[in-house]
Amino acid sequence: MTIETRENIQHRGILVGMDDFKRNENIDIETSMEELAELAQAAGVEVLASAVQGNSALNAALYIGKGKAEEIRDLCKNLDANLVIFNDELSGSQIRNLEEVIGVDVIDRPTLILDIFASRATAKDAKLQVELAQLKYRLPRLTGLGKKLSRLGAGIGTRGPGETKLETDRRHIERRIDFIKDQLKEVKKNREVQRSKRKKSELPIVALVGYTNSGKSTLMNTFMKNSLDYEVEREVYAEDMLFATLEVSLRKMSYPDNLNFLLTDTVGFVSKLPHDLVDAFKATLEEVKYADLLLHIIDASNENHKLQRETTLKVLKELKVEDKKIIEVYNKVDKLEDPTILPKDSDTIAISALKGNNLQLLLELIRREIGDRLVDTEVLLPYDKGNLSSKLYEIGNVTESEYRENGIYIKLKLPYIHYHLIKDYEIS
């Protein structure tokens, strides 16, 4: 038996969206469909056409109206399409019903995103996180998708766990989910050990965050090329496509006048990101929590950059890090006819990561926030400030501590940006 794989399937797809004004998703249908087309292309799909139905009431059985489904069936026949991609999340029964009417494979946006992640994940922890998200997404859809998911590697949506027929046995899937969760706990322990080592280095951590394809990896490479200890093999993969990289990269940056810091990249965000995927990547996104400074990279050349900015801020809020110091970096200004239209304040800057425009100004902003300002201090914390004591161990380098009669004595080195936490308890 020949097993079909991604390599020998030529996906020719039709995109389908629902323009439902009653749902407040803070994104217009045209923008959302354009992004779906980019996602499809990133997954290797040749996009042939798109169809949008305006309807305030969703069809429980087909999601779209039966007439629209038949119209898409005819479109698939005329264009020789073998895949239909819906812009929203579908139930298992809806996918099954649509396939019966249309006659070709049907997947939804979350499945498409999960497939891209599955194809790009290379590190062990990233693979585990993607598989966990896939299994959690498929588990409630077994009833509707049982037959479809049993196919061996039949293209997009069946990559990974589907190839081993795990979906045919709910208990088997649940056991696999439990196993992966245990594995990810070990990954988390390893990350905590690595963080502990980084804290001892006393170097501040700067994290790049932002929408997918905003230029984070390109900016990281530009930082490295201008670093005093640049080595070409330390560069990270950068490509002009959605989700080009999924792995967390960490590099030490060294510049004149003692400006040294650790720079970390993070996975890019996207609208309508599957919740299970956000949850699964918490271990990766957790790096943001331990950063001293966030650089929010925004693609200024994208006409929807305001929406992309809001999407990123929403995810940062979900991670409970929205109160961290953030510098907004408007990237790709070399593509703008008039860069003066961009916001201007002390916490924003316009750059071109590709051409290196304004990199020195950005470094000065970073120096302003972190620089080489480590505070050598001693504090005496009241016993009712035990939580602050734990916090100091997380963000500083504690060299001495002692429980005294009138409080907890701690001697430590602390990044200046956290100095406000302890200034009222400083004794030296």
Annotated binding site for Mg(2+), which residues? 217, 245
Residue type, 177: I
Q: Which residues are annotated as a binding site?
A: 210-217, 245, 265-268, 331-334, 352-354
Residue 207 makes CB contacts below 8 A (sequence gap 6+) with 263, 264, 265, 266, 287, 288, 291, 293, 294, 295
In degrees, rounded to 5, the angle at the alpha carbon of residue 123 between the alpha carbons of residues 162 and 166 is 15
State how far the Cα of 71 lies from the Cα of 84, in Å rounded to an integer.
Answer: 12
State how far the Cα of 63 lies from the Cα of 95, in Å rounded to an integer.
Answer: 9
Residue count (the chain): 428
State how far the Cα of 376 lies from the Cα of 399, in Å rounded to an integer.
Answer: 10
Closest-CA residue to 142 (of 175, 174, 180, 104): 174
State how far the Cα of 406 lies from the Cα of 383, in Å rounded to an integer.
Answer: 8
Q: Side by side, which strands form the sheet with 326-331?
A: 250-255, 259-264, 205-210, 293-299, 326-331, 348-350
Q: Which residues are annotated as a binding site for GTP?
A: 210-217, 265-268, 331-334, 352-354
Tokens of 111: 């499945």
CB 420 within 8 A of CB 379: no
State how far the Cα of 333 lies from the Cα of 379, in Å rounded to an integer.
Answer: 46
